[in-house]
Amino acid sequence: MTPTINWSLTPINLGKVDYLPTYEAMQKFTAERTAETSDQLWLCEHPGVYTQGLAGRTEHIFNPGTIPVVQTNRGGQVTYHGPGQVVAYPLIDLKRAGYFIKEYVYRIEEAVIRTLMHFGVTGHRVAGAPGIYVRLDDPGSHALLPQRPVKKAVIPDEELVTPVQELVTPVQEFVTPVHEFVIPGQELVIPGLTRDPVSREHWIAGQARNDTSAHQIGPNFEGLGKIAALGIKVSRNCTYHGLALNVAMDLEPYSRINPCGYAGLQTIDLSTIGVHVGWAEAADILGQRLASQLEP
């Protein structure tokens, strides 16, 4: 029987700490924790470092210079951590919390979106590309992205059985544009939400269309800048690694890599879109939003 533990996730501000010992501390905490161990949320800032995920390819780091590269066991490809970025490491027992990894990702993305909202910025999800993105031309715009995750309806099996007398209907009448199968009001449902019953193959990127171009190859970042990155590891139902929100950084190191494995993906921070906020304030708001969103 899983113990019942009162939910309390008070952010722990580690300040500016080196990446490698922090990574090792997360591993140690996760390896030694028990069913009774309380969850934790670490907030910190790292000196400049490139971190490579399990799927990382060396060709995505083409000019590291003097910036160290650390191999990690998180998901994803290469990213950069540096001064002026809030890094959050939620150490959560998902089994005890009562949700799974896909919903966990959704929840931490939602925490970032609500943090940005606090500063007057609208964060967006992009189909097939974890993380949070901002419109470069209008960071406060609430207009839905064409490349947002969009859900197609699943036709019940019984509706696929056509009575014999209806088979005389001309063939062209059976050709229904794909967009007519998009359920009104469900455009904002996010793929990977654990409690959504629709499987992954029923999601498409962008506007639904009645041709094969609806299934575009790779995410579409047109007009967008990435402001927050995610990298997750789950061991024995417990999470570590986490997310990074760009506040006021030197963004030049991103030009030496393909961020998250995508050539040409523009990375931005709050300061470049006109939001001037200190690291401590951004960390405080992000910590609050994460604690709220991760509540069981």
**For residues 73 and 233, what is the distance between their CA atoms, to the nearest angstrom?**
7
Annotated catalytic residues are: 260
**For residues 92 and 80, what is the distance between their CA atoms, to the nearest angstrom?**
24
Q: Name every residue whose Cβ is closer than 8 Å to that of residue 79 and which is 6 or more positions away in sequence.
A: 50, 51, 53, 229, 231, 244, 257, 259, 260
CA 293 to chain CA centroid, Å, is: 14
Tokens 């910036």 belong to 67
**For residues 16 and 1, what is the distance between their CA atoms, to the nearest angstrom?**
39
Nearest CA to 82 out of 230, 246, 227, 233 is that of 246
**For residues 246 and 228, what is the distance between their CA atoms, to the nearest angstrom?**
6
**How far is the CA of 95 from the CAs of 114, 152, 205, 231, in angstroms?**
25, 30, 30, 20
**For residues 107 and 232, what is the distance between their CA atoms, to the nearest angstrom?**
13
β-pairing, 149-151 vs 79-81, is: unpaired
